[in-house]
Chain A
Amino acid sequence: MALLQVRNLSKVYQRDSQAIPVFEDIDLDIDTGEFLVLMGPSGSGKTTLLNLIAGLDEPTTGTITVGGEEVTAMSRRQLAAWRSNHVGFIFQLYNLLPVLTAYQNVELPLLLTHLSKKERRQHVMTALDVVGVSDRADHFPRQLSGGQEQRVAIGRAIVSDPTLILADEPTGDLDAKSADEILTLMQRLNREFEKTILLVTHDQRAAERGEAIMHLDKGVLTR
């Protein structure tokens, strides 16, 4: 059984009295340890699909199951707890909290756990070490380059050892060199640490780093 199962998923946005369908009856499977890239033009619904999988939005119809748990049947409270345990989310614009240091940003997901301060410190330093910015632990986001900020954001996504990493255009705001480093890091997370990754992008070079590519266009998902 696949780690992630999406069945008959549809999403329709309602704007005033007008219904705007994004996609209809999508099916998707991702196995444990897979690195899947989802491509498509702007407005095709890639981010919407990612948000639905993360439980950040509600589908119009269909089901999403992760590790045997039906995400679409969970309450808001259950979803929050589930996300903290199973999802690591990486954003295009990093979305680090500007008033916290790199260390404190990475520590955020661990505040929701029962770990002691000492244990949290061990986890955070390990994550920062994996993403290669442990020497920047006390720096604030404004003191970091774009590539370093994204590394910190990846550290935050992996610090709680999630089941699934969802990345929404993680290289979209970076220069070519930094983008390449970030993609190499994600490949390493997949190969070395066996992380299951779903990466959304419309950059062909980024897509080539994945094990499989799927296209979402005009509401239709194809391999």
Chain B
Amino acid sequence: MKYARLIWVNLTRNKRRTILTTLSVAAALFLFVALRSVNTTLNEARDVGSESRMVVRNAISVVFTVPEAYYSWLTTVPGVRRVTWGNWFHGIYQDPRDFFPSFAVDVDGYLDVYSNEMEIPEDQKEAWRRERTAALVGTGLMERFGWRLGQTINMTSMIYSPDQPWPFTIRGVYTPFPGWTDEAFYFHYDYLYEMVEQVQPGWYVLELEDPSLAATVASTIDEHYENSRYATRTETEHAFQSGMISMYGNVGLLMNAVGMAVFFAILLVAANAMMMAARERASEVAVLKTLGFSDRLLFGLVLVEAATITVIGGLLGVVGAKLLFEGTGFQGAGFLPGFEVKLSTAMYGMLIAVVLGLISGLVPAWQAARLPVAHTLRRVA
């Protein structure tokens, strides 16, 4: 602590340079946190889904439907306990940028198959079952839009008659169990069926008696429909989610590549600033050595000085990102529902800031430690 003043005065002697370097690090860490949060958000979405549930979809793409007639046969497949179905609705409430997942579902089947994912009061379950235009909404979505139980809202769909208003009454609010989203919107498939001609299920969800039967069930179903007009692809719900996410492309690789590029760019900026500062102070380092400051101590002081800049910059960037994204409710224009800066990402960012400081300070610290005192003093005189 007794050297804190010495470090501080060295940091503040060229305020403009210190501030600019700190802000560079802050901007880089902000970007890093944002990029990593995109990754973690997508990965989290991928992790939603169970290994004991399977999804049967059109073999060509999830965009295409599967016939209603498949339902009866699917219930007879050995190893399948229950079958339900759903459709992607892509509902919009007021602003298309406020994306949230919305589904038309077979209400009774969904309540059975997903009973371990959502907690719903019994009276609200019944209210949702009874009314054709009723909707079941996650707590997060209720909070995001400030909705109330019993409220009627008008939505539109990006898929079905985009200009047509779809009134819904919120009859149920579910609380998700860990690992399930709190921002989903469910309504009756019957309502969709009534409003849209020739609608068919987007996919079927199968609840297995035993997860180990997944491969057998998948091959049984896909082989059965192999030569039909609507060939199927059957996969675990987890794999289905991963497939949905992979439609974004290899976002992880892209984010990591950009993140690494930013890291090295800022490493050079910080290292350059530290080198300049150290070069300017060579004579002072020589004087300190004359007073008895050891090589090791001077090495440490320069290193701590560099790390102080990057840690302050890192704090600004990481905390700034956290506050900004939380404050604005950022959702990536609807493509990143549930986007948040996780504590692990913030910690990782700070670790990078420390490493950045240590690496950028390494060369100037080494130079300070090995500085030839007599030669440097002679040059000054």
Residues of chain A whose beta carbon lies under 8 Å from any beta carbon of chain B? 47-48, 51, 54, 56-57, 76-77, 80-85, 87, 89, 91-93, 95, 97-100, 104, 108-109, 111-112, 117, 156
Q: How far is the CB of B252 from chain A (nearest CB, A)?
A: 46
Q: How far is the CA of A99 from the CA of B287 in the complex (A)?
A: 14
**Given A51-B374, A51-B377, 17 more pairs with CB closer than 8 A:** A47-B378, A47-B381, A56-B377, A76-B294, A77-B294, A77-B295, A80-B289, A80-B292, A80-B293, A83-B289, A83-B290, A95-B287, A97-B9, A99-B9, A108-B288, A111-B6, A112-B292
Query: Which residues of chain B have C-beta atoms less than 8 A from A89's C-beta?
Result: 290-291
In angstroms, how far is the closest chain B Cβ from the Cβ of A92? 6
14 contacts between A and B (CB under 8 A): A76-B294, A77-B295, A84-B292, A85-B292, A87-B292, A89-B290, A91-B381, A93-B381, A95-B377, A97-B9, A97-B287, A108-B291, A111-B2, A111-B6
Chain A: minimal CB distance from B16 (Å)? 15
**Shortest CB–CB separation between residue A80 and chain B, in angstroms?**
4
- Give A82 to B283 CA distance when docked, in angstroms: 21
Question: In the complex, what residue of chain A is closest to B9 when comparing beta carbons?
Answer: A99
Q: How far is the CA of A98 from the CA of B9 in the complex (A)?
A: 10
Distance to closest chain A CB from B380 (angstroms): 7
Q: Point out the residue from A54, A77, A82, A100 that lies within 8 Å of B296, measured CB to CB.
A: A77
Given A93-B380, A100-B9, A83-B292 contact (CB < 8 Å): yes
Q: Which residues of A contact B3 (CB under 8 A)?
A: 111
Per DSSP, are chain A's interface residues mostly helix, strand or loop, or mixed? helix
> Are A83 and B291 touching (Cβ within 8 A)?
yes
Residues of A within 8 A of B51 (CB): none
Which residues of the partner chain B approach A51 to less than 8 Å between Cβ atoms? 373-374, 377
**Min CB–CB distance B92 → chain A (angstroms):** 60
Name B's A-contacting residues (CB within 8 A): 2-3, 5-6, 9-10, 12-13, 283-284, 287-297, 373-374, 377-378, 380-381
Instruction: For A80, give the chain B residue with the smallest CB separation.
Output: B294
Of B284, B291, B295, chain A has the most CB atoms within 10 Å of the CB of B291
Q: In the docked arrangement, what's the CA distance between A84 and B373, Å?
A: 15
**Contact partners of A104 in chain B: CB under 8 A:** 5
B290:A56 contact, CB within 8 angstroms: yes
A80 contacts across to B, CB distance below 8 A: 289, 292-295
| Complex alpha-carbon distance, A84 and B292, angstroms | 4
Whole-angstrom distance from the CB of A149 to the nearest CB of chain B?
13
The answer for the CA separation of A108 and B10 in the assembled complex, in Å, is 14
> How many cross-chain pairs have Cβ atoms below 8 Å apart between A and B?
74
Residues of the B chain whose Cβ atoms lie less than 8 Å from the Cβ of A82 = 292
**C-alpha gap A57/B376 in the complex (Å):** 11
A76 to B372, CA, bound (A): 11
Nearest A residue to B292, CB-CB: A84
In chain A, what residue has the closest Cβ to B13? A99
Q: Given A47-B378, A93-B381, A99-B13, are A56 and B289 neighbors across the interface (CB < 8 Å)?
A: yes
Given contacts A81-B292, A112-B293, contact A57 B374 (CB under 8 A): yes
Min CB–CB distance B291 → chain A (angstroms): 5
Residue numbers in B under 8 Å from A54 (CB-CB): 290
Closest partner residue, chain A, to B287 (CB atom):
A95
Expressed in whole angstroms, the Cα–Cα distance for A112 and B377 within the complex equals: 21
Across the interface, which residues of B come within 8 angstroms of A81, CB to CB?
Answer: 292, 294
Q: Which residues of A contact B2 (CB under 8 A)?
A: 111, 117
Report B218 CB to chain A, min CB distance, Å: 69
* Cα of A98 to Cα of B13 in the assembled complex, Å: 9
A85 vs B293: C-alpha distance when bound (angstroms): 11
Please, which residues of chain B bring their CB within 8 A of the CB of A156?
Answer: 291
| Closest beta carbon of chain B to A57's beta carbon, Å | 4
- Which B residues are in CB contact (< 8 Å) with A108? 288, 291
Question: Which B-chain residue is minimally distant from A172 (CB atoms)?
Answer: B381
Taking CB atoms, residues of chain B closer than 8 Å to A77 are 294-296
- What 10 A-B pairs come out closest when comparing CB atoms? A84-B292, A57-B374, A80-B294, A99-B9, A51-B374, A83-B292, A56-B373, A95-B287, A56-B374, A99-B13
Alpha-carbon separation in the docked complex, A70 to B292 (Å): 17
- Chain B residues with CB below 8 A from A111, complex form: 2-3, 6
Give CA–CA (A101, B220) in the complex, Å: 84
Select which of B5, B9, B292, B294 is within 8 A of A109 by beta carbon: B292
What is the minimal beta-carbon distance from B11 to any residue of chain A, in angstroms? 10
Nearest Cβ in chain A — how far from B29, in angstroms? 28
The chain B residue with its CB closest to the CB of A96 is B287
Docked Cα-Cα span, A76 to B297, in Å, equals 12
Minimum distance in angstroms from A199 CB to a CB of chain B? 16
User: B374 to chain A: which residues have CB within 8 Å?
Assistant: 48, 51, 56-57
**CA A91 – CA B291 in complex, angstroms?**
12
Residue on B with the closest CB to A76?
B295
Residues of chain B within 8 A (CB-CB) of A109 are 291-292
Residue of B nearest to A54 (CB): B290
CB distance from A12 to the nearest CB of B (A): 14
Report the Cα distance A92→B287, complex, angstroms. 12
Closest chain B CB from A72 CB (angstroms): 14
